[in-house]
Amino acid sequence: MFGIFKKKKTEIFSPVAGEVIKIEEVADPVFNQKMMGEGFAVKPTNGEITAPVSGVIQSIFPTKHALIIETENKVGLLIHVGIDTVDLEGKGFESFVEAGQKVAAKERLLQVDLDVLKANGKDDVVMVVFPEEKDLQLNVRIGTGDKNTVAAVIE
């Protein structure tokens, strides 16, 4: 009646400048078959990885290729940079955050040297997935943008 029971939509910004694509287009079956959950991916044009939402850093992998943010609505979001980049053992990755730290949407999280990934034969696609959200209604907005671009909306 007054929208009291209306679910709030959550905007998810692109974590990096580039082309937003469907998660099904990623070359890794763990992600493209949604074993890690619903999500989207970005083919990056630079290596600055920013927070797609405001929240708290729950964990950052020692290799700095992936991290988990918990939103203010308690939704867990995994940012995973590249395919098989764990093999690089942190080479080419610099982190600006740590576990327990609050971050604002669009705040810098990581810097990735895309040339290092390329030189090591690694796909540099950046994936954003929601591992714990089984019934997530995610509206992905395909196209080119940057950290100010809304890449998806949780309905």
Which stretches of the chain are assigned E, i.e. beta strand? 10-13, 18-22, 38-44, 48-50, 55-60, 66-71, 76-81, 93-95, 102-103, 108-112, 126-130, 138-140, 143-145, 150-154
The pLDDT of residue 7 is 55
* pLDDT given for residue 1 in this prediction: 41
Give the pLDDT confidence of 26-66 residue by residue, as tens digits.
999 999 999 999 999 999 999 999 999 999 999 999 999 99
Which candidate in 64, 65, 80, 147 is catalytic?
A: 80
- The conformational region for residue 85 under phi > 0 = left, psi -120 to 50 = alpha, else beta, is alpha
Report residue 8's pLDDT band, with 50, 70 and 90 as the boundaries: confident
Where do runs of H (alpha helix) occur along 90-136? 114-119
pLDDT in tens, 88-145: 999 999 999 999 999 999 999 999 999 999 999 999 999 999 998 878 889 999 999 9
Does the pTM exceed 0.75?
Answer: yes
Q: What is the mean pLDDT of residues 65-87?
A: 95
Query: What CATH class is the domain 19-154?
Result: mainly beta
Taking alpha carbons only, the member of 112, 111, 123, 101 closest to residue 31 is 123
Is residue 65 annotated as part of the catalytic site, yes or no? no
